[in-house]
Amino acid sequence: MNSPTNTRNGNARAIDYSPVVPPEASRVQASVKQIKDEIGKIQKYQDDLEKRQSTEGNVAKALEKFRKDIKQEDEENEKAIEAIKALLEDPEGLRASVTEELKEEIEREMNDIIEAKLAEEVSKSLEQHTSMELQNKLDHIMEQIVLAQRELHNAESRRANCLLRLDQPRAALTPLFKPNEDQACPSFPKSLSALFALDDAAIQNLCVEYGLPVATAPHARDTNMNEFLRYIGVQYQMEPVPGGPSLPVLLRRYG
């Protein structure tokens, strides 16, 4: 359907048939918008108020807790003050309490000192005991070594002396160490001829120096000489000869 046109003055103009809003409707719309704006303001105010109330509530709770804590602390302080007052009003009780505390403290300190000292002494004792025990063992071993060396020397000397014969009168005797010493007697004879030429006193002195028994009966020289000959390993013994002095005789088992 074609819209009517106006052809006056040769110009064509379209006619607008859209509905016209009444002035009352515009006012209503403006009022509605204004109301909505006011409602929005009110709602925002309520939200702010609720937030403020919430914050104030938290603050109130915090203040309440603070008051309770202060009250509890005051009560505890009050109890402590009362306890101090009670002690001050009872000097004997105060003295006893302080004395007991000091006694316990002193006992603890003394126990600590005693334990430390005891541990130190035990450590020293163990160290000393171990050192002494080890030293004793070492000393004993050294004594055994020295004794073995002496015995070895004397054994070698006897072995050498047992090979000597009267047809070697100037062959040297090998001296033996004296008992418990590392040296021979200075008067030890140099040879068989020197040995058999010793008088009674000299042979007695050698027996004494080497810890041998000493005879004093008649013919003691022969007895003491034979004792010394056996000790040093010489394979001769003195035998009496009728009508004359004793003579050295080679033992038969060695002949």
The H-assigned helical ranges of 17-90 are 23-89
Distance CA(204)–CA(192), nearest Å, equals 17
Q: State the residue range of the domain holding 224.
A: 162-254
How many domains would you assign to the chain?
Answer: 2
106 within a domain of the structure (yes/no): no
End-of-domain residue from the set 84, 111, 128: 84
End-of-domain residue from the set 20, 54, 84: 84
pLDDT > 60? residue 3: no
CB 208 within 8 A of CB 185: no
18 within a domain of the structure (yes/no): no
222 within a domain of the structure (yes/no): yes
Beta 13-14 vs 244-250: how paired, if at all? Answer: unpaired
Who's near 234: CB < 8 A, 6+ residues apart? 161, 162, 164, 173, 192, 195
**Which of these, 215, 219, 251, lies nearest to 234 by C-alpha position?**
251
Mean pLDDT confidence for 65-80: 78
Higher pLDDT: 37 or 26? It is 37
Percentage of the residues of the chain whose pLDDT score is greater than 90: 33
Q: What is the pLDDT of residue 209?
A: 97
pLDDT > 50? residue 1: no
Q: How do residues 201-235 score in pLDDT, each as one tens digit?
A: 999 999 999 999 999 887 799 999 999 999 999 99
Report residue 137's pLDDT band, with 50, 70 and 90 as the boundaries: confident
100 within a domain of the structure (yes/no): no
